Amino acid sequence: MVMKMNKSEFLKKFSEVSNYDMDTCKKINEVIEDNSFIGKKNKEKLVGDLMEKLNFSKEEAEKIYETALDIIGKEIKEKIKHPFKDKDKK
């Protein structure tokens, strides 16, 4: 069954994949929510914000961006492939 990914599920998945503690993941999520993933300039801004606000290196900030994009992309892809699957079983 495919469920909609809410914020807490995203944080849990991000924490598992990135090995950051939940507090750090919440701070990262705040930066992500303040930015958009679409476009090169937005990626640069998001990476810059992660570096500035959370003191990450450029490499680590880009890794965080790619990890978050991967998690969100997989959920979107699954939702497109199976748009009504989460409504089938209640």
- pTM for the whole structure: 0.77
Q: For the segment 52-68, what is each residue's pLDDT rounded down to a tens digit?
A: 999 999 999 999 999 99
* DSSP conformation class of 47: H
- Beta carbons within 10 angstroms of residue 44's beta carbon: 13
Tokens 């965080």 sit at which residue?
A: 64
Q: For the segment 42-52, what is each residue's pLDDT rounded down to a tens digit?
A: 999 999 999 99
Q: For the segment 69-89, what is each residue's pLDDT rounded down to a tens digit?
A: 999 888 777 777 777 766 555
Residue 72 contacts residue 65 (beta carbons within 8 Å): no
Q: How far apart are CA 26 and CA 71, in angstroms?
A: 15
